[in-house]
């Protein structure tokens, strides 16, 4: 089926849930007005990124009123959005919600928490323990949060679990200004999302935020990528944007006929070899 | 070599965006800076004028009586070409009043006092006009510690602190900083004929090539030597970086509680912004 996705390249305020809810609601209304069926927000859209000790203060339970509001809005448009989730045993997760038809369809807790260079996520956050695809009105979907995408096994698992659409929510800091055209970080991401789409015959929706936190910029450049790895739509660099991309449903079918790599992918060999490696590592 | 060359259009966009975003998010719209007549403060003035509008930039030239008159002329040239607010404030009376108590004081003490005198004036004017003080120290100076702690190193935000001197030159060209400001020899202008490179004992270009590989690329000493850098130059620069590290950090606090500021009480400065 053809559908329209809106990538809401917003600029959240650090630690300000109410302000960010207002930003999110405004983007949802704009998305609906633009005819979008699905709106994707960045990682930690409701809170901002460099939270540090603010993590417990901005965390939401799944039954929080803000989530209730998003559920209601999802009666009008499907929503993928990042926030800090607190579990009943008081662990805090960098999570993404997928809401549709008034319900939470899926919660993904970020598995790969970067803790190197300018990143310090593992200090403040608990690690998710699974990658699961789930069904939506656009077919089977898998969600990844930023660093998850840098681990080749993560999109692979989701694709093997039947996902044909990968949604990646991101708060990627811009760095690596050099003599070349783009930022080091944006160039790397563009290769990554496009290669993942191509390898896995999946469409990829990548939504990255903008704005600055303590001098660190987030570069935006959100993308809709077709299953052949081509970027069909790209958001502005470093500026707020709402990327409205029409998704050609037939492109996925055609790509899977032309390049049936996922049909031929051999799960049994992969599992067998990974088990062997695991066994050998234990020796 | 040449690894330091940057995409100036992109760099300009990021730095202009930075000044605009970090000033406006605290509810202000003005920036205050000292214009020395040198290239670093000239570039920051260009960035600030583009970010905030020239009418919202307040530049102060603060000469001492031994300052080279050319410096003030260049500061004026920069201010006039941008159309920013500009004022000259002599620091000679304040500085001389103090050193009349210590006539034997060294050049270093005098230079530091002048830098801190200028800082107090900038912060006073930031309160007067309601703007943030913009820093003008580049990455080379910050790494080498070639600046005065709580003097020229003090600011609310610094747009050029992560770009090397060579990149300051390149971006200044792209942004249209006046030619005479770009071409002249960098100088702290503490006494007649002083130049940074003479005082440091090496050129900024050489230091930048080394620092880029040492700091940004994390090349080992052996790799730096085989890349053609003189061992004593490497050691000299490394000693300066290490020896000045205290200038790049907040004062250390003796820990006694469970949550000590900056140790285990950690919030971004943009907390709630």
Q: Is the predicted pLDDT of residue B1 greater than 50, yes or no?
A: no
- Interchain pair B268, A217: CB under 8 A: no
Rounded to whole angstroms, the Cα distance separating B226 from A266 reads: 47
Rounded to whole angstroms, the Cα distance separating A110 from A94 reads: 5
Dump pLDDT digits (tens) for B180-208. Answer: 999 999 998 877 788 999 999 999 999 99
**Taking the CB of residue B10, how many other CB atoms lie within 10 A of it?**
20
- Interchain pair B272, A13: CB under 8 A: yes
- Interchain pair A54, B267: CB under 8 A: yes
Q: By three-state DSSP, how is residue B4 classified?
A: coil
- Collect all residues of chain A within an 8 Å Cβ-Cβ radius of residue B22: 212, 215
Determine the residue of chain A that is closest to B158 in CA distance.
Answer: A215
What pLDDT, on the 0 to 100 scale, is given for residue B147?
Answer: 95
Encode A180-196: b = buried (16+ Cβ within 10 Å), e = exposed: eebbebbeebbebbbeb
ipTM of the complex in this document? 0.91
Rounded to whole angstroms, the Cα distance separating A115 from A204 reads: 25
Which positions of chain A have pLDDT values less than 70? Answer: none
Of A10, A4, A65, which is closest to residue A37 (Cα–Cα)? A4
Of A207, A233, A232, which is closest to residue A220 (Cα–Cα)? A207
Distances (CA, A) of A116 to A112, A120, A121, A122, A147: 12, 6, 9, 10, 12
Cα of first residue to Cα of last residue in chain A, in angstroms, is 50
Helix (H) or strand (E) run with residue A3 in it: strand A3-9
Asked if residues A25 and A33 have their Cβ atoms less than 8 Å apart, the reply is no
Contact pairs from chain A to chain B, CB under 8 Å: 66
Tell me the DSSP string of A166-191.
EEEEE-PBP----SSSS-HHHHHHHH
Rounded to whole angstroms, the Cα distance separating A107 from A60 reads: 13
Asked if residues A99 and A74 have their Cβ atoms less than 8 Å apart, the reply is yes
Please indicate if any CB of chain A lies within 8 Å of the CB of B11: yes
**Taking the CB of residue A109, how many other CB atoms lie within 10 A of it?**
21
Domains located in chain B, CATH noted: 8-192 (3.40.50.620)
Asked if residues A249 and A5 have their Cβ atoms less than 8 Å apart, the reply is no
Q: Which of B17, B265, B267 sits opposite A212 (nearest CB)?
A: B17
Residue A128 DSSP label: P
CA angle at A256 for the pair A255 and A262, rounded to the nearest 5°: 130
Length of chain B: 273
Asked if residues A156 and A196 have their Cβ atoms less than 8 Å apart, the reply is no
Q: By three-state DSSP, how is residue B247 classified?
A: helix
- Collect all residues of chain B within an 8 Å Cβ-Cβ radius of residue A217: 14, 17-18
What pLDDT, on the 0 to 100 scale, is given for residue A81?
Answer: 98
3-state secondary structure string, B141-195?
HHHHCCCCCCCCCCCCECCCCCCCHHHHHHHHHHHCCCHHHHHCCCCCCCCCCCC
Contacts 24+ apart (CB under 8 A), A233-236: A233/A7, A235/A7, A235/A9, A235/A208, A236/A9
Q: Where are the alpha helices (DSSP H) in chain A?
A: 17-33, 55-58, 65-73, 121-124, 153-160, 184-200, 249-258, 261-264, 267-282
Q: By three-state DSSP, how is residue B269 classified?
A: coil
Rounded to whole angstroms, the Cα distance separating A221 from B32 reads: 32
Of B172, B168, B138, which is closest to residue B153 (Cα–Cα)? B138
Of B248, B224, B64, which is closest to residue B141 (Cα–Cα)? B248
What pLDDT, on the 0 to 100 scale, is given for residue B2?
Answer: 59
Domains located in chain A, CATH noted: 3-282 (3.60.110.10)
Asked if residues A10 and A239 have their Cβ atoms less than 8 Å apart, the reply is no
Please indicate if any CB of chain A lies within 8 Å of the CB of B178: no
Encode B84-112: b = buried (16+ Cβ within 10 Å), e = exposed: bbbeeeebeebbeeeeeeeeeeeeeebbb
What pLDDT, on the 0 to 100 scale, is given for residue B42?
Answer: 98
Phi, psi of B52 (to 5 degrees): -115, -10
How many helical (H) and strand (E) elements, i.e. helices and strands, does chain A have?
Answer: 9, 14
Q: List % helix, strand, coil for chain B (3-state, nearest 5).
A: 50, 5, 40
Q: What is the mean pLDDT of residues B127-141?
A: 98
* Shortest Cα distance, chain A CAs vs residue B21, angstroms: 7
- Collect all residues of chain B within an 8 Å Cβ-Cβ radius of residue A182: 7, 10
Mutate to test the interface with B, among A117, A118, A176, A214 (most CBs of B within 10 A): A214
């Amino acid at each position: 089926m053809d559908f329209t996705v809106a990538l809401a390249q917003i600029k959240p305020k650090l630690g300000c849930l109410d302000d960010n809810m207002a930003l999110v609601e405004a983007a949802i209304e704009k998305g609906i007005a633009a005819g979008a069926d699905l709106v994707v927000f960045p990682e930690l859209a409701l809170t901002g990124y460099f939270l540090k000790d603010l993590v417990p203060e901005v965390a939401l339970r799944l039954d929080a009123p803000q989530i209730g509001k998003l559920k209601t809005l999802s009666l009008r448009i499907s929503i993928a959005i990042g926030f800090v989730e607190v579990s009943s045993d008081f662990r805090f997760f960098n999570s993404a919600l997928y809401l549709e038809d008034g319900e939470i369809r899926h919660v993904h807790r970020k598995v790969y928490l970067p803790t190197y260079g300018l990143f310090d996520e593992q200090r403040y956050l608990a690690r998710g323990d699974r990658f699961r695809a789930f069904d939506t009105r656009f077919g089977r979907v898998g969600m990844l949060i930023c660093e998850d995408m840098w681990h080749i096994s993560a999109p692979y698992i989701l694709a093997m679990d039947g996902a044909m659409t990968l949604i990646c929510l991101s708060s990627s800091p811009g760095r690596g200004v050099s003599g070349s055209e783009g930022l080091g970080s944006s160039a790397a991401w563009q290769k990554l999302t496009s290669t993942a789409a191509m390898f896995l015959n999946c469409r990829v929706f990548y939504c990255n935020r903008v704005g600055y936190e303590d001098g660190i910029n987030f570069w935006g450049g959100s993308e809709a990528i077709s299953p052949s790895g081509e970027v069909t739509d790209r958001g502005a660099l470093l500026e707020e944007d709402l990327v409205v991309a029409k998704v050609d449903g037939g492109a996925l079918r055609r790509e899977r006929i032309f390049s049936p790599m996922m049909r031929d992918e051999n799960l049994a060999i992969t599992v067998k070899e990974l088990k062997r490696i695991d066994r050998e590592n234990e020796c | 070599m040449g690894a330091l060359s940057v995409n100036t259009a992109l760099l300009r966009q990021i730095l202009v965006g930075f000044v605009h975003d970090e000033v406006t998010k605290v509810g202000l719209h003005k920036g205050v800076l000292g214009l020395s007549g040198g290239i670093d403060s000239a570039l920051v003035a260009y960035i600030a004028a583009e970010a905030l509008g020239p009418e919202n930039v307040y530049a102060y030239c603060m000469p001492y009586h031994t300052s080279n008159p050319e410096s003030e002329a260049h500061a004026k040239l920069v201010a006039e070409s941008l159309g920013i607010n500009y004022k000259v404030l002599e620091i000679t009376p304040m500085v001389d009043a103090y050193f009349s108590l210590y006539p034997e004081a060294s050049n270093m003490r005098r230079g530091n006092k002048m830098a801190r005198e200028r800082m107090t004036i900038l912060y006073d004017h930031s309160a007067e006009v309601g703007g943030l003080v913009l820093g003008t120290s580049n990455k080379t100076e910050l790494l080498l510690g070639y600046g005065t702690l709580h003097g020229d190193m003090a600011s609310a935000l610094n747009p050029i602190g992560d770009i090397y001197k060579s990149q300051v030159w390149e971006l200044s060209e792209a942004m249209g900083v006046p030619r005479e400001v770009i071409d002249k020899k960098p100088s702290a202008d503490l006494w007649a004929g002083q130049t940074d490179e003479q005082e440091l004992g090496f050129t900024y270009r050489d230091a930048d090539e080394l620092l880029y590989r040492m700091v940004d690329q994390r090349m080992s000493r052996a790799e730096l030597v085989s890349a053609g850098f003189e061992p004593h130059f490497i050691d000299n620069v490394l000693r300066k970086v290490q020896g000045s590290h205290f200038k790049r950090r907040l004062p250390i606090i003796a820990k006694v509680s469970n949550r000590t500021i900056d140790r285990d009480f950690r919030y971004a400065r943009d907390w709630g912004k």
